[in-house]
Amino acid sequence: MLTDGFHEVPAGRIAMVVTHLEMRAPPRLKPAAGYIGLSLRPVTAPTPEWYRHVYRRVGEAWLWFSRLKLDDDALAAIITDADVEVYALQHEGQDVGLLELDFREAKSCELAFFGVIPEMIGTGAGRFLMTAATDRAWSRPIERFHVHTCTLDHPSALAFYRRSGFIAYRQEIEIAEDPRLTGLIPRTAAPHVPVFE
């Protein structure tokens, strides 16, 4: 257990506060407006190449790296599992967002990955995608829908999840290798997060 006070983060590492959120019943959200040009495409047989491409476009600015550490077989085992649903948010025929719902835990759904490319932030695309995610999660006989976010994510992510009906229930500190120093992500990514070598 961490004690009160400051704790030095080793060189080559990044530190983040991770907030876990959940909902135990479907939220009462306003229906999604009819966003022109937006649609949700189920990706029934995602390849690791396609998945990594969209994952990078959505998450590189926020240092998403966990799926980049997996080899093709390990990644494919997750994203092609019968209890994992993968969707692409499309705008005018282009993949501009990623939604992954993980039902592998009984009576539960994890919002495993969720986001839109930086150019779509603030357009309503995130709300459209969240409405779709919530509808699909609660269309199954689950008792819990959960997600986690961290301080490396978009500054509005935590508030967005709370407005969407999730309730924060736990926090953790995570320390990890800086993916910009391991070559997983370009060194120029996430300039708002300092690199300490």
How high is the pLDDT of residue 37?
Answer: 84
Is 4 among the domain residues? Answer: no
List, in sequence order, the alpha helices (H) in 18-167. Answer: 48-59, 72-79, 125-138, 157-163
Please give the tally of structural domains in the chain: 1
Tell me, what amino acid is at 64?
W
Is 68 among the domain residues? Answer: yes
Domain CATH for 140 = 3.40.630.30
Is 122 among the domain residues? Answer: yes
Is 95 among the domain residues? Answer: yes
- State pLDDT tens for residues 100-135: 999 999 999 999 999 999 999 999 999 999 999 999
Q: Which of the four pLDDT bands, split at 50, 70 and 90, describes residue 34? A: low
Is 11 among the domain residues? Answer: no
Domain of 42 in residue numbering reads as 16-25+38-179
Q: Which residues pair with 91 in a beta bridge?
A: 38, 94
Matching residue, tokens 């969407």:
164
Is 86 among the domain residues? Answer: yes
